[in-house]
Amino acid sequence: MTTSETGALTDGFHLVIDAMKLNDLNTIYGVPGIPITDFGRMAQAAGIRVISFRHEQHAGNAAAIAGYLTQKPGVCLTVSAPGFLNGLTALANATTNCFPMILISGSSEREIVDLQQGDYEEMDQLAIAKPLCKAAFRILHAEDIGIGIARAIRAACSGRPGGVYLDLPAKLFGQTMDAAAGAQSLVKVIDPAPAQLPSPEAVKRGLDLLKVAKKPLIILGKGAAYAQADEAIRELIEKSGIPYLPMSMAKGLLPDTHPQSAGAARSLALKQADTVMLIGARLNWLLSHGKGKTWGAPGTQKFIQIDIDPKEMDSNIEIAAPIVGDIKSTVAALLDGMGANWAAPPAEWTGAIREKVETNVARMAPRLQNNNVPMDFHGALGALKIIMKERPETILVNEGANTLDFARSIIDIYQPRKRLDVGTWGVMGIGMGFAVAAAVETGKPVLAVEGDSAFGFSGMEIETICRYNLPVCVVVFNNNGIYRGTDTNEVGDDVAPTVFVKDSRYDKMMEAFGGVGVYATSPDELSRAVNEALDSGKPTLINAVIDVNAGTESGRIGSLNPQSVVGKK
């Protein structure tokens, strides 16, 4: 160990904290415990905001969505083995969704782990994390902390964003080194997500296709929302005159009420378009892989795809014009290449889409105004639709089966990155983690619309919401069960696997932690309670009683359930 003239020392704890602060990583989402309890305390003392959760998965989901909202990696901190594994689900989900995040887990002694001698919470965490994230690193020496954190940040943010695992053995935290040398070893990451300019040929190839298209369509995905190129994207859509379809989390990039939105004419648009330009959206299951009955006959549709990851091209079908580059640079290049005299697509096509949108919206409208008791999904969501229109800065978090599917199509979003949901995996359990981080990172009010089943996965985190006094209003659509509450068991005393305790009072849970609980049976009551919650900013949970008969198995993706052909009653 070398010492400077003053003899001042620093240690692993402080070097990790200093490295984070140097790189503007000012919030940690985590759960304390061995060996990171003191680290959390010291981070807080050093001015980092430390948000403690009740379960690591939700802390991880919070970090992931913080990354999506800010373009800086969200940091999740966990204990070893079980805590690490709990956080790993969120890390894998972040990677799947292309959200930048760093999972930092304390780990036990390498010497004991590697000889499998049975340490407290022993686990070879690095090896386990590797296949589930974009990159995984371990830091063994205090002098490597600066480089280790820098590598983690770059891996999370550059190219296609994703999750990074950083393994910090307990011993590292206590290691000391000369303070001046320590400060010198830290790295401020310059330009963590470098622009990736598309090649001029690729841009021209794309524009040439778009120019001759009779029925062009643009699909905006959450990559486009993540890119924060909001103005340029709006300009591209409006200048091109091309109808666009927002994927779920891209809703609000342009207001859903925009005259070029094909949102309410999705089936027609996908089936009949002759040229489709994907901007930060993958042709995965959410777009029926670009083929099958959702789409036109094979060979009748050409695809242009803008993505930062070259491997994404041709993942499911042939891409006629791949444009590899970051969305900000690429959209700018497209706008440039379109010049001043870009001709709008044939009115026959844009008119047909517009007409379909208007018909579908008009058909839906009366159903959204019903004041039935108990509520159905349309009546309840009709009330929330009006609230989101009046309060467009509110961030909507949404998960469930029917609650998700109906809310996605019914509730219009007016501003970018105001809709956060189950994402690429369609995963349940993101609700409260996303709600906490959305409030913490933006300071904006959050409305979490949750199926009763979905809520159960992260429901304990309402204590976290109350503890930090966050402006979160949770609405639980309570229909007594998974999908709906009507299943019965014909052969025994146990209830059916999909039903919950009848008429549960989720609102009482919120009251237990000092928040506001409301029991709402009609759309009017629901509306009043949500408005009050958003006005007051007080943590609120509204138990919205939904007709047990409303809802269908698995919502709109029931076809993904395998069906038994034998012995099913």
> Which of the stretches 84-92, 181-189, 216-224, 385-393 binds ligand ADP when contact is defined by CB under 6 A?
216-224
Three-state DSSP at 252 gives coil
- Least distance (Å) from ligand ADP to the CB of residue 26? 22
Site map for ligand ADP, 233-272, x if CB under 6 A? --------------x-xx----------------------
CA distance 315 to 557: 22
Q: Are the C-beta atoms of residues 414 and 388 closer than 8 Å to each other?
A: yes
Closer residue to ligand ADP in complex, CB, 227/509: 227
- Least distance (Å) from ligand ADP to the CB of residue 246? 8
Binder to ligand ADP among 60, 83, 169, 221 (CB under 6 A)?
221
Find out whether the peptide bond into 198 is cis, omega within 30 degrees of 0: no
CA distance 141 to 131: 24
DSSP state of 330: H
Closer residue to Mg ion in complex, CB, 86/543: 543
Question: What residues from 90 to 149 belong to the interface with ligand ADP (CB under 6 A)?
Answer: 97-98
Q: What are phi and psi of 304, to 5 degrees?
A: -110, 130
Amino acid in the structure at residue 515: G
For the record, the structure tokens of 318 come out as: 């042939």
- Least distance (Å) from ligand ADP to the CB of residue 312? 5
Residue 80 binding: pick among ligand ADP, Mg ion, none (C-beta 5-8 Å cut-off by kind): none
| 15 near ligand ADP, rule: CB under 6 A | no
Amino acid in the structure at residue 41: R
- Least distance (Å) from Mg ion to the CB of residue 276? 35
For the record, the structure tokens of 48 come out as: 């980092």
Look at strands 419-421 and 446-451 and give their pairing: unpaired
| 419 near ligand ADP, rule: CB under 6 A | no
Q: Are the C-beta atoms of residues 544 and 380 closer than 8 Å to each other?
A: yes
> Which of the stretches 174-182, 303-311, 359-367, 513-521 binds ligand ADP when contact is defined by CB under 6 A?
303-311
Residue 381: its H or E element: helix 377-390
- Least distance (Å) from Mg ion to the CB of residue 479? 4
Cα-Cα-Cα-Cα dihedral sign, residues 362, 368, 371, 375 = positive
| 385 near ligand ADP, rule: CB under 6 A | no
- Least distance (Å) from Mg ion to the CB of residue 450? 9
> Which of the stretches 104-112, 174-182, 279-287, 385-393 binds ligand ADP when contact is defined by CB under 6 A?
279-287
Of 308, 311, 353, nearest to 331 (Cα)?
308
Residue 3 binding: pick among ligand ADP, Mg ion, none (C-beta 5-8 Å cut-off by kind): none
- Least distance (Å) from ligand ADP to the CB of residue 57? 20
Residue 290 binding: pick among ligand ADP, Mg ion, none (C-beta 5-8 Å cut-off by kind): none
Find out whether the peptide bond into 35 is cis, omega within 30 degrees of 0: yes
For the record, the structure tokens of 567 come out as: 């012995």
For the record, the structure tokens of 263 come out as: 């949102």
For the record, the structure tokens of 272 come out as: 């009949």
Which residues are CB-contacts of 148 (< 8 A; sequence separation ≥ 6)?
A: 137, 139, 166
| 424 near ligand ADP, rule: CB under 6 A | yes
Helices (H), 76-199: 82-97, 110-114, 125-129, 145-157, 170-174, 179-185
For the record, the structure tokens of 326 come out as: 């970051």
Closer residue to Mg ion in complex, CB, 192/451: 451
Binder to ligand ADP among 100, 223, 290, 445 (CB under 6 A)?
223
| 317 near ligand ADP, rule: CB under 6 A | no
For the record, the structure tokens of 155 come out as: 């891996």
Residue 46 binding: pick among ligand ADP, Mg ion, none (C-beta 5-8 Å cut-off by kind): none
Supply angle C-alpha 496, 502, 503, rounded to 5: 155
What burial class does residue 93 get, using C-beta atoms within 10 Å of its C-beta: 0-12 exposed, 13-18 middle, 19+ buried?
buried
Binder to Mg ion among 169, 325, 451, 459 (CB under 5 A)?
451
CA distance 379 to 171: 57
Closer residue to ligand ADP in complex, CB, 42/317: 317
Binder to ligand ADP among 90, 152, 227, 277 (CB under 6 A)?
227
Binder to Mg ion among 11, 405, 441, 452 (CB under 5 A)?
452
CA distance 132 to 155: 14
Binder to ligand ADP among 19, 327, 439, 448 (CB under 6 A)?
327
Closer residue to Mg ion in complex, CB, 256/452: 452
For the record, the structure tokens of 279 come out as: 């901007």
Binder to ligand ADP among 69, 75, 90, 281 (CB under 6 A)?
281
- Least distance (Å) from ligand ADP to the CB of residue 163? 14
Closer residue to ligand ADP in complex, CB, 134/484: 134
Q: How many residues bind ligand ADP, per CB under 6 A?
A: 24
Closer residue to Mg ion in complex, CB, 441/452: 452
In what order do the strands lie in the sheet containing 74-78? 49-52, 27-30, 74-78, 101-107, 163-169, 135-138
| 309 near ligand ADP, rule: CB under 6 A | yes
| 543 near Mg ion, rule: CB under 5 A | no
| 308 near ligand ADP, rule: CB under 6 A | yes
Q: Summarize as ranges the residues that interact with Mg ion (CB under 5 A).
A: 451-452, 479
| Residues at the site binding ligand ADP, with contacts judged by CB under 6 A | 97-98, 160-161, 221-223, 226-227, 247, 249-250, 280-282, 284, 286, 307-309, 312, 326-327, 424
